[in-house]
Structure 1
């Protein structure tokens, strides 16, 4: 929020006042806190552990930099979508614990996004493995 005209109160979000390297350092700290919080989520933890295997495997399986980028990128994309889904769920849970159709829809849409990114990842990896087996 910005300072209202004619008031002496400071802005409520000090992050917006930071500039340059100072802002980047604080943003990095917040990002690391987010990753730490995400580690507490089972789905993200499973995907992160799978990424420890799959990203290096992408360099072995991919025959060009484009294939490596698609393989590794699909795994990272899945993790990004999982983080966004977790953020949506946290925001909805903060609003309240009572059931509401829009809250349910928001959570379902986030879950659907994770499912689509998982299917994309599996499709890319499946095609690459198939090509490797069939065409050596």
Structure 2
């Protein structure tokens, strides 16, 4: 058991609380992060489009999965940025590194989306 006062619930109550926190996080990202909204729009286009192409179920699952992975990366990138900004708005090399690495993770994620879709659609 953790010493954190925020870890007191168990069972169904914990699941319900976690669901609420997750939905609040999605709402905050959608409201406050333009990059997240852009990726949601891209996913809203690409995921249904994946059903248009004559690909196997596994290929379609991979095409959808990489879109969702990119959303996950952006949520983590936004979380890193929020924590860094919460600690201090002062310019610091470590803060810059943290933000740049989060951005680099998203660049890799978007490259993964593009390469995956291209390899599946144009073998």
Offset at residue 73 of structure 1 (A): 0.4
CA distance 1:84–1:62, change in 2 (3 Å)? farther
Contact 1:47–1:79 (Cα < 8 Å) also in 2: yes
2:29 to 38, 43, 46: 38
Structure 2: gaps (5+ residues)? none
Contact 1:62–1:71 (Cα < 8 Å) also in 2: no
- After TM superposition, the score normalised by the length of structure 1 is 0.84
User: Which string of whole-angstrom CA distances, capped at 9 and with x for unpartnered residues, describes residues 65-91 of structure 1?
Assistant: 110111000100000000000000000
The structure whose Rg is larger is 1
Match of 1:18 in 2: 9
Structure 1: gaps (5+ residues)? 3-10, 132-136
Offset at residue 108 of structure 1 (A): 0.6
Match of 1:81 in 2: 73
Q: What value does the CA root-mean-square deviation take over the aligned residues?
A: 1.3
Matched, 1:95 2:75: no
1:106 to 85, 94, 98: 98
- In 2, Cα distance between equivalents of 1:62 and 1:117: 24
- In 1, Cα distance between equivalents of 2:52 and 2:44: 14
- After TM superposition, the score normalised by the length of structure 2 is 0.92
Offset at residue 130 of structure 1 (A): 2.1
